[in-house]
Amino acid sequence: DYELCEEWGHFYPVPREDAINLHREHLLHLLEMGDMEKALQLLQRIEDPGVCLAISEQSLDQHPNLAASHFLADYLTAHFNASLTTARRNDIQALYIGSKVLLTLPELSRVDYSHLSSRPLLMLEQLLMNMKVDWVAVAVQTLHQLLAGQEVGFTVEDIDSLLSKYAEKALDFPFTLKEKRS
C-alpha cells in the first residue's frame, strides 16, 4: 500500500506534510520488519534533502526498536551531520553510541537497559551498580572505539572517571577491622 501511495504521488500533487507522513510511516514499517536495505532504498529515492531529513528525524523521534534507532541515528549522522544543530547532533550520536553498547549486551538483558539508550554513561553506571562487570568490560571497550575523535557530550576521561569512582567505592570498607586478642 505504501508503494502504491508513493506511485500515486508521482502522478498527482501531494502536500509536503502528507508526503512526509507517508514516507515516515513507510520507513517505520520497513524498519519494524527488519528490512534495512529497503529502508535505505526508500530514503535514497527521496529527492528533496529537507524532506529526507524531516522523515529521518521524525522516525527517530518515534522511538522505534533498537535496530531501527541504530539505523536512523547512523543514517542521520552520515548524511545530515552538517544540517543538524550541535545539541541535536550530540543527542543523535549519543543514541547511536548507546544503541551500539546495547547491542553488545546479551539479547535477553537489552530490554532492561533500553530506556537508557540515549544516555550511554548512565547505562554504564547502571551496569556497574548491577555488578555486571563482564558486560561493563565489553561496553567500555566499545565506547573507547566509538569515541575516538568524536564529540558527543562526554569523553573517554568521563568514562575513566566513572570507573575510578566505582572502583574506589568497591574498596571502601564502612567499618574497621579489629584485631582479635586471645
* pTM of the full structure: 0.76
How far is Cα 117 from Cα 102, in angstroms, rounded to an integer? 7
Chain mean pLDDT for the chain: 85
At 13 the pLDDT is 84
**Cα separations in angstroms, 144 against 59, 76, 96, 100, 139:** 28, 22, 14, 12, 9
> Please, which pLDDT band fits residue 153 given cuts at 50, 70 and 90?
confident
pLDDT over 60 (residue 174):
yes
